[in-house]
Amino acid sequence: MITHEYIIVGGGLAGLAFAHYCRKNNRTFLLFEDGSQNASLIAGGLYNPVVLKRFTSIWNAQAQLQCADKFYRELATDLNCKLDYPLPLYRVLHSAEEQNNWFSAADKPSLNSYLATPLVQNTHPAIEAPFQLGSVKNCGYVDTKTLLQQFHDRLETEEVLIRESFNYGDIAFEDESVTYHEIKAKHIVFAEGFGLSQNPFFHTLPLDGTKGELLVIHAPDLKLDAIYKSGVFIFPLGNDHYKVGATYDWHDKTDVPTPAAREELVQGLKSFLHVDFKVVAHYAGVRPTVKDRRPLVGTHPLHSNVHILNGMGTRGVLLAPAMAKALFESIALGIPLDPHVDIKRFKHFYANPYRN
């Protein structure tokens, strides 16, 4: 019998963040990853503390930024690779009304650290912004593909990564542990993204996956050195390549790229960008979104050693480090979870929990 403190199911950003805190605190674990969910792998990776459609602050913005900054610096050192790319972000303003809304938002205490004033005069010949640009601080992107590949390789070298599907029916419960095949662990953490819909312990939680599609374009004459956001976002990847996104589809739950989404992104780009470009890649994935826009973190009502780390939605780059840390500290140290993210907020789930 192989004994570990944790079994982690899911090797996306959330699962790897939890694995990082296990490693940091000298806790043993095995991580199962079958490659069935690709939202983290193909994610845009953008982080910013503001909802740019409505000029509002994201929930708990400063704490998320601080936790993420420390997390990605530690991980980059550990994996010996560059992960975090801080960049200025410019929101293209489309009217005098949007300009006024920007100034009003920038006066709010929750936003004045992030929304700069005065507005920025656009000087880039390929960008159309007749009503100027709003500059957002503390932004950038994380290279999620490199992060996942390097972290998976490290865990595989350490023989703690199991590349196979996890069979829920093979879990056996004992007084203070769970066993799975020849593995015994004190706790099991499910961090499966949209795969949660198949999980019998947590499938009644209101996870509502949202499909997102992204493009990579080649534009040799563009020469951007910042993130620009209009109807879509665009940011530089290097070598005259740029990532463009993202679409939102609440009905299609597949990870198959679609011609309609490609056309939506291309037209969105052409609405403010005037330069020739070629689409060189097209990706799709299903984000694990939640109806109340808060993560799903916590412990099963009947099984005290079964936990969930999910629902990071469209802001997984910021949320995953903070939520993984919160769950780890809840399990290991007994620190209560924030009620805004604790699954206890869903009373209907607790009224009829799955009985194994």
Q: What is the pLDDT of residues 271-310, one digit of tens each?
A: 999 999 999 999 999 999 998 889 999 999 999 999 999 9
Domain residues for 241?
86-141+209-287
Residue 14 and residue 33 in contact, taking contact as beta carbons nearer than 8 Å:
no
Query: What pLDDT, on the 0 to 100 scale, is given for residue 307?
Result: 97
For 312, residues 6+ apart whose C-beta sits below 8 A from its C-beta are 13, 14, 287, 288, 295, 319, 320, 323
Q: CB 19: neighbour CB atoms within 10 A?
A: 26
Same domain for 126 and 218? yes
The whole-number pLDDT of residue 356 equals 42
Please state the pTM of the whole predicted model. Answer: 0.94
Asked whether residue 80 is domain-assigned, the answer is no
Residue 104 domain flag: yes
Final residue of a structural domain among 242, 267, 287: 287
Q: What tokens were used for 69?
A: 């900054």
Distance, CA of 47 to chain centre: 9
DSSP-derived secondary structure for 193-242: GGGGGG-TTTTTS-B--EEEEEEEEE-TTT---SEEESSSEEEEEETTEE
Task: Note the pLDDT of residue 354.
Answer: 45
pLDDT of residue 54: 86
Closest CA to 321 of 107, 71, 31, 46: 71
Q: 302 and 181, same structural domain?
A: yes
Question: In this structure, are 119 and 214 located in the same domain?
Answer: yes
Are 130 and 214 in a shared domain? Answer: yes
pLDDT for 44 equals 80
Both 137 and 213 in one domain: the answer is yes
Is residue 117 located within the same domain as residue 248? yes
Q: Is residue 73 part of a domain?
A: no
Number of domains into which the chain is organized: 2
For the chain, residues with pLDDT lower than 70 are 1, 38, 348-356
Q: Which of 253, 270, 287 is the last residue of a domain?
A: 287
Which pLDDT score is estimated for 290?
93
Among 246, 261, 287, residue at a domain's last position: 287
The domain that holds 99 is classified in CATH as 3.30.9.10
Residue 135 lies in a domain: yes
